[in-house]
Amino acid sequence: MAAEAIFGCRGIGISFGNRAILRDVSLSVSPGEVLGLVGPNGAGKTSLFEILCGRYVASSGTVTLKGQDITRLAVHDRARLGLARTYQSPVVPSSLTIAETFRAARHAYRPYRTRMDAEWACHMANFRQPWDRLAGSLDTFDRRKLLLACLLLRDPCVLLLDEPASGLINSEIDELDLIIRHLVDEHHIAAILIEHRLELLSAIADRAVVLDMGEVIATGTPAEVFQNPRVLEAYFEEPAHG
């Protein structure tokens, strides 16, 4: 892992039953950087996220944050250290208003946050909805914005974003890209982003790591890895020629 990296893993492996899901996976991300994590279905991307956030325990390897070994830390302890994660499906507390949702988020960890902090988080996530509205009535994009704003109340240093563009139309994806880049560039947050669509990742990621069948098959800039013959073969199931 690079010396300037704030978060990453080395030598991660995990098996379910007799099937190896991840084998010797290593990656790192630095403050102010977006790292894309890509690969075909079944490559092991979400399983890796589960290990990074603490929901799964790896059978081998280490996870580090701010130079600290957090491999055995629980999810909530990692969150207190500044690790935040979103999920592919933006599940919100449907029976709570937006104000009630923010109140719960503000009091999730000490030191408790103020309403002004929540308003700042809304601004950062470009979330503009009346606070007396039920969270369950929001569309997919506003649900994602609400959840992101709640995470920002924790003052995270690392964001794990699991297919944040899922279910969004092109104009919403463009807006989401701007939100993420602003958080990364202006607030020096490190982000790891899972995304299936290579063209979308090319627009936002500084570097990319490609998984296939649980192994890293390529790393580098999006332009480099998306021209890699092994990556093309993994995605299109036939050898690249030329």
pLDDT, one tens digit for every residue, the chain (242 residues): 444 899 999 999 999 988 999 999 999 999 999 999 999 988 999 999 999 999 999 999 999 999 999 999 999 999 999 999 999 999 999 999 999 999 999 999 889 999 999 999 999 999 999 999 999 999 999 999 999 999 999 999 999 999 999 999 999 999 999 999 999 999 999 999 998 777 778 889 999 999 999 999 999 999 999 899 999 898 876 444 43
Amino acid at 75: V
Residue 197's pLDDT is what? 75
Amino acid at 122: C
Q: What is the pTM of this model?
A: 0.93
Residue 201's pLDDT is what? 86
Residue in this structure with the two tokens 């063209």, named with its chain if needed: 199
* C-alpha–C-alpha distance, residues 26 and 63, integer Å: 9
* C-alpha–C-alpha distance, residues 147 and 89, integer Å: 11
* C-alpha–C-alpha distance, residues 100 and 213, integer Å: 42
Residue 71's pLDDT is what? 98
Residue 237's pLDDT is what? 66
Residue 35 structure tokens: 């790292």
Residue 196's pLDDT is what? 78
195 near 207, Cβ under 8 Å?
A: no
Any alpha helices (H) in 94-209, and if so which ranges?
98-106, 115-124, 140-152, 170-187, 198-204
* C-alpha–C-alpha distance, residues 97 and 133, integer Å: 5
164 near 183, Cβ under 8 Å?
A: no
Residue 235's pLDDT is what? 80
Residue spans of the domains in the chain: they are 1-82+156-242, 92-154
Any alpha helices (H) in the chain, and if so which ranges?
45-53, 75-80, 98-106, 115-124, 140-152, 170-187, 198-204, 222-225, 229-236
Question: Residue 74: which of 50, 48, 55 has the closest Cα?
Answer: 55
Angle, vertex CA 164, rays to CA 159 and CA 166, nearest 5: 165
Q: How far is CA 95 from CA 98, 100, 133, 136, in A?
A: 10, 9, 10, 6
- Beta bridge mates, 190: 158
Tell me the torsion sign for CA atoms 174, 156, 162, 61: positive
Which fold does the domain 1-82+156-242 belong to in CATH? Rossmann fold (3.40.50)
30 near 5, Cβ under 8 Å?
A: yes
